[in-house]
Amino acid sequence: MTDPQPAAPPARVVIGLGSGRSEWTVRLSRWAMSATTDVDFLRCLSGTEVRAILGAGRPVSVLLLDSTVVDRDLVELAAGFGVATALVHSSGPPPDWADLGCVAVLREPIAPTDVLELLDDLAAQAVPAARVVRHRSVDLDDPLDPAVLVTVTGPGGSGVTTVAMLLAHGLATRPPARPVHGRRTALVDATSTDGLSLYHDLAGEAGGVAELIELHRRDRLDPDEVRAFADGVAGRPYLVVRGAPTGSADDTSAATARAVVDGLRRTYATVVVDAGDLGPSTVRPTSLRAAAIAEADVVVVVGRSGLHGVHGLAGCLDQVALVRESGAPVTVVCTAAPRSTGERRSVAIGLGRERREVVFLPVISRLERLHRDVGPLPTVAAEAVAGPVRSLVSP
């Protein structure tokens, strides 16, 4: 009786995602179909196909992504399934593949032997570590002191956007005393309404948060590239990064959101983020506003006086506490503040704070005209909200 033949080892599975013009996916498909190796190559034309294969539970050895379609979210998803990702790059400046979480980069034209060597290196945990250098104006791995990041949030209708504008104005006029990259201040709209475009007469123009999110899915951006998505406004000392009313600021991954925040902090001296209404249904761990709240040096929570206003403020403070580490600085601003000292004390008591810990901002006269005409912001009001924040971030 003859001895049974040993079972052949299972084929190693390679997923390849490229654009319709990616010739390497066609070459590898023909190579795998020739049955000369123990490699199965699954050619995909969309991220949806990749997600379906990974979700099916089939063991995958490596995911190859064309650098023209690389997506930080796909790399993160593959890592969650224990699958390494490598980039296939053709020409031009390569993405920062190590920052994306990829293990290697293969230069076109790639051959089957390149894939086999990569699979062998992965099996031996000796993945290629050679780094492809991209020329930038600054070293993005340099641990320079990042910009001061302040995030403004609060219940809807409480004046969050107005306070964010005042805060950006005050901090841009007198920047916090910290080592920074330049001295510019950026006001960023992380809401789903894009109110900053309306209040600065920028509606209908292209660029902004949506583009920054999309580009940070694929790479880290040089400060010069980040600055291209900000607008100057006559009479305002800060720059505006317009929002994404389509909701893309809420529909991203945690890794991409953190990358956007990091890019902004490496570009400006001060970053003020308008996070808008904060509630259980609006703060997802993957949203840009959640990342901005979690990483902010100071969070400014805006609300109104009165029973309903204090209740909304307290709820928002609870939501902020869920996103941030305990003990992180939080400043409270009460808009349309009552004039009575007793009423102000009641607001502070209702929030469990000392009266001096709450900034009471009176009604700003002709506010609608100011917004409509993009008029000069009141300096006194700007300094009223900027002063307490500046004291918390200055050494």
Give kind and range of the element (H or E) at residue 233: none
What's the rounded Cα separation, in Å, for the pair 241 and 77?
A: 29
Backbone angles phi, psi at 280, to 5 degrees: -55, -30
The CATH class given to the 12-123 domain equals alpha beta
The stretch 296-305 carries a mean pLDDT of 92
**What is the pLDDT confidence band of residue 368, given thresholds at 50, 70 and 90?**
confident
**Closest Cα partner for 303 from 315, 316, 313, 317?**
313
pLDDT of 2 above 60: no
pTM attached to this predicted model = 0.81
**What is the pLDDT confidence band of residue 6, given thresholds at 50, 70 and 90?**
low
Whether CATH 3.40.1390.10 fits 148-393: no
How many CB atoms are closer than 10 A to CB 257?
26
The stretch 216-241 carries a mean pLDDT of 90
Domain-wise residue ranges, the chain: 12-123, 148-393
Tokens of 39: 């490699």
**What is the pLDDT confidence band of residue 149, given thresholds at 50, 70 and 90?**
very high
**What is the pLDDT confidence band of residue 17, given thresholds at 50, 70 and 90?**
very high
Helix (H/G/I), strand (E/B), else coil: 153:
strand
Residues of the chain above pLDDT 90, percent: 30
| Mean pLDDT (the chain, rounded) | 84
Least confident interval from 28-42, 112-126, 219-233, 278-292: 278-292
Are domains 12-123 and 148-393 of this chain identical in fold? yes
Of 20-24, 200-204, 390-394, which has the strongest mean pLDDT?
A: 390-394
One-letter amino acid identity for 219? D
Q: Which residues are CB-contacts of 136 (< 8 A; sequence separation ≥ 6)?
A: 222
What's the rounded Cα separation, in Å, for the pair 291 and 258?
A: 6
How many CB atoms are closer than 10 A to CB 297?
20
